[in-house]
Structure 1
Amino acid sequence: MFDARLRTLIDPPLEMLGSRLARSGATANQITMVGFGFAIAAAGAIAWVGPLFGLLFVLLNRLCDGLDGAVARVNGKTDLGGYLDIVFDFFFYGSVPIAFAFADPGRNALPAAALLFSFYANGSAFLAYAIMAEKRGLETDKQGSKSLYYLGGLAEGGETIALFCLMCLWPAGFPVLAYSFAAVCVLSAGARVIIAVRTLRETPG
């Protein structure tokens, strides 16, 4: 919901740093892979060390997620880069709830399952529409330059990262936060389905 507004704040510094990294020889796919490593480290830290330590790797993962796109815009975007970016994003989004479930199965397992279900519903509505939009030649840049059509919703990347940060800062509140955000994600998925149905009916395919 807030991603488009956040882009105006975070894009300029990311573009500047991304340009420097590109000139130094770094590639977008390399940064994506480093970010994936931070995602694994975040999950491991949350599960077996402590959520505050995990927060550091969550933030580093998100930094890489912004930088790989900035570098790609300098070096040139590729289908492989876009594929790795979205796939590893979803791996990351799923790993954090699972990590909290491992950290305290008795308290966190069921809320984590509810949150993962909501991510699954929201992600399928997002990705299925992206496929149909590509097929019909639909484009948007409201959330910045992307490799696929980005259909906005109530629960987007910015809100999800804010949730993960809050969970790391307040691990005792994980059940409440997970159930609350799961409800938001389900509403977001429903809204995306409605938008998709309206758009696909009005656009010849």
Structure 2
Amino acid sequence: MLDVQLRRAVSKPLYTMASALDVPWITPDRLTMAGLVIGLSSAALAASQLWALAVVAWLASRVLDGLDGTLARRRLAAASAPRSATASEAGGFLDIVADFVVYGATVLGVAVGATTAFGAPWWPFLVVLFAYYINGAAFLAFSSIAERTGRSLSDDDNRSLFFLGRIAEGGETVFVHTLWLVLPFIAWQIAIVWSIVVLVSAAQRMIVGYRLLR
């Protein structure tokens, strides 16, 4: 819901950072993998109830998640189109897979830490994972079919996939996962509310996607 505004707000800082990192041995894919490793470490830290360190690692992984695409677009603009476009598609695939892994691992890490430290129930976190599964299936299936059928449905942010924007997007996900790590003693209550939001978003994406593809 807030992704467009957030991307506009952080685009200049990210571009400045990407410019500073634009050296031969740093590639977008390496930034993606670094974000994946740091994101997984955040989940492990949460599971160990090291909440402050988990927050730092989580936010660092999200910064890297924004930097990889920014650096890729910067280099794409200065390189030959055919070769760079292929690399960009591969990088986009790696990026979305890494995001799914980190999101799922963070839910699991918070669940382990919260249930161990505060006696939180497991089921709200399981519902969140179920909601993520449905939501991811909806927008990934839509993106794939829209591309295969030649639908001209372009968003304006140059991402590798067309995203059906709904109330639960990347910005909201980053905020909620941060909130879990800052307030782990009420993480399961947050998970209940968040799962409802994500399920509503999934329903919206399924309805809108079906209508657009008819």
What is the TM-score normalised by the length of structure 2? 0.89
| Runs of 4+ off more than 6 Å | none
Q: Which residue of 1 aligns with 2:73?
A: 73
Tell me, yes or no, if structure 1 residue 99 matches structure 2 residue 112.
Answer: no
Kept in 2: contact 1:130–1:149 (CA 8 A): yes
Name 2:176's counterpart in structure 1: 163
Matches for 1:1-205 after TM superposition, within 5 Å: 1-23=1-23, 25-76=25-76, 77=85, 78-103=88-113, 104=115, 106-137=119-150, 138-142=152-156, 144-201=157-214
Contact 1:28 1:69 in 2 (8 A): yes
**8 Å contact kept, 1:55–1:165:** yes
**1:165 corresponds to which letter in structure 2?**
T
Shift of 1:150: 1.5
Mapped partners of 1:51, 1:64: distance in 2? 20
CA distance in 1, matches of 2:149, 2:5: 27
The unaligned stretches of length 5 or more in structure 1 are none
What stretches of structure 2 of length at least 5 have no aligned partner?
A: 77-84
Deviations 1:71-118 (A, max 9, x none): 100222522101110000000110111012222255242111011001
**Aligned residues with identical type, % of pairs:** 35
CA displacement at 1:25 relative to structure 2: 4.1
The AA in structure 2 aligned to 1:73 is R
CA distance in 2 between counterparts of 1:146 and 1:125 reads 17
CA deviations 1:16-75 (Å, max 9, x no partner) are 211221245411001001001111110110001422210001100000000000110022
Counterpart-to-counterpart distance in 2, 1:55 and 1:133 = 37
SS at match of 1:154: coil
More displaced stretch, 72-81 vs 113-122: 72-81
Is 2:40–2:106's contact at 8 Å kept on the other side of the alignment?
A: no
Contact 1:140 1:150 in 2 (8 A): no
TM-score if structure 1 supplies the norm length? 0.93
Separation in 1 of the partners of 2:131 and 2:198?
5
Q: Partners in 1 of 2:51 and 2:167 — Cα distance?
A: 26
Count the aligned residue pairs.
200
Check whether the contact 1:34–1:64 (CA below 8 A) recurs between aligned residues.
yes
Cα deviation, residue 168, structure 1: 0.8
Change beyond 3 A, Cα 1:169–1:98:
same
Q: Given that residues 38 and 58 in structure 2 are in contact (C-alpha distance below 8 angstroms), is that contact kept between their aligned partners in structure 1?
A: yes
Q: Deviations over 1:174-200 (max 9, x none)?
A: 111001010000100000011111100
2-side partners of 1:22 and 1:128: how far apart? 34
CA distance in structure 1 between the partners assigned to 2:177 and 2:140 by the alignment: 22
